[in-house]
Amino acid sequence: MKKSLILSLTFACSMFAQGGGRAGATSTVTSDLNRVYTGAKNNLLKVADAMPDDSFGFRPNPEEMTFGGWVAHIADANSGACSAIATGERKMVGAAQKTSKADLIAALKASFDTCDAVVAGLTDANAMDMVPGFGGQVPRISALYGLVIHSNECYGSMAVYLRAKGIVPPSTAARNAGRAGGGKKE
């Protein structure tokens, strides 16, 4: 009961966070996961690209990670989570040791390559199969929604770093592009 409630809430939150489904379209759990994963992936790649090279060492205060640290964190977390789902063994891309924008974005893309294969392999039939997750075995769909939730949380933090540098975050810029006034800063 508790796991079903958590899965239902996760599903509902992901639908809300990613803007819901298309009007009139039939959605399955697997098609929804693919949609929200793709949205989170695109946001993270765009936010990393939006920060200038010389600002990857930026941190708003001494206690916070650098912007590049966030990119490294996501790359290593994605790689570890998705490789564990795929093979049962966590493998990192070593992003924590990288500092340049080019190297960190390459690590982020490599982590998404690993996750793309895992997400593509999700089916309605295997969605409830138990896989390694943080804290133990969890249903595959829960592990993958957890990946999306983590990605969205990280994106939110990274968007604040962009705003501190006077840069409109990609998701806001895209939303504003469809409005009168275009990409005005919010």
CATH superfamily of 29-167: dinb family like domain (1.20.120.450)
Angle 18-107-48 from CA coordinates, rounded to 5° = 50
Domain ranges of the chain: 29-167
CA distance 147 to 142: 9
Chain centre distance of CA 79 = 12
pLDDT band at 184 (very low <50, low <70, confident <90, very high): very low
CA distance 169 to 44: 10
**C-alpha closest to that of 150 among 100, 92, 82:** 82
- Read off the pLDDT of residues 106-163 as tens digits, 9 standing for 90 and up: 999 999 999 999 999 999 999 999 999 988 999 999 999 999 999 999 999 999 999 9
- Read off the pLDDT of residues 77-89 as tens digits, 9 standing for 90 and up: 999 999 999 999 9
Q: How many CA atoms lie within 13 A of 77 on its CB side?
A: 17
